Amino acid sequence: MYRDGHSGFNALLYAPFLPVVSRVWSLELALVGALVAVGVANLPDIDEPLPWIRHRGPTHTVWFAVLVGLVAGAGSALAVPSTAGAFEFGFVVGTGGILAHLAGDVVTPMGISPFAPVWRVHVTLDWFKSKNGRINRTFLRAGSAALFASLLLTVWLPTAAVPTG
């Protein structure tokens, strides 16, 4: 997948969790989660302009996902310090956001080696090419719409559900 596809895919995956996180914890934490999920969507591709790191190498592993999760957890705890479980939530969303990127790359012919260097198995489902514009645009549109609708429902439903009278 390309940038738009990864961003849309992460937004699509996070959208159902936004109202749940808002109801269980807070709207602030739910919004931090949305920012983290979409914000890390393309982070593994920081290797592209770097000549000393092979593309889809170390930044496309579960180990990188855990590292990003730790940073996202710390950032979430700093962003919403009054919310219990903010670190754990940020860790899950950050790690999950990178794993979603990896899933988006597994479906391409190039694939990834998600457990390198411990286990060098190469994984590809070879469903479509990364540069497939239709797939990338579809994920971007669907993810954007789903996240926007989820946010609207999260903000609107609590007040709409209160009976008047």
Residue 162, pLDDT score: 46
Domain ranges for the chain = 3-160
Residue 83, pLDDT score: 87
The angle, 0 to 180 degrees and rounded to 10, between the axes of the packed helices 3-14 and 133-160 is 30
> How confident is the prediction along the chain (165 residues), in pLDDT tens digits per residue?
899 999 999 999 999 999 999 999 999 999 999 999 999 999 999 999 999 998 899 999 999 999 999 999 999 999 999 889 999 999 999 999 999 999 999 999 999 999 999 999 999 999 999 999 999 999 999 999 999 999 999 988 765 454 555
**Amino acid occupying residue 112:** I
CB 9 within 8 A of CB 1: yes
Place of tokens 């790359």: 105
Q: Is 18 helix (H, G, I), strand (E, B) or coil?
A: helix
Sign of the C-alpha dihedral computed for residues 131, 133, 134 and 135 taken in this order: positive
Residue 146, pLDDT score: 98
Residue 155, pLDDT score: 87
Phi and psi (nearest 5°) for 162?
-80, 120
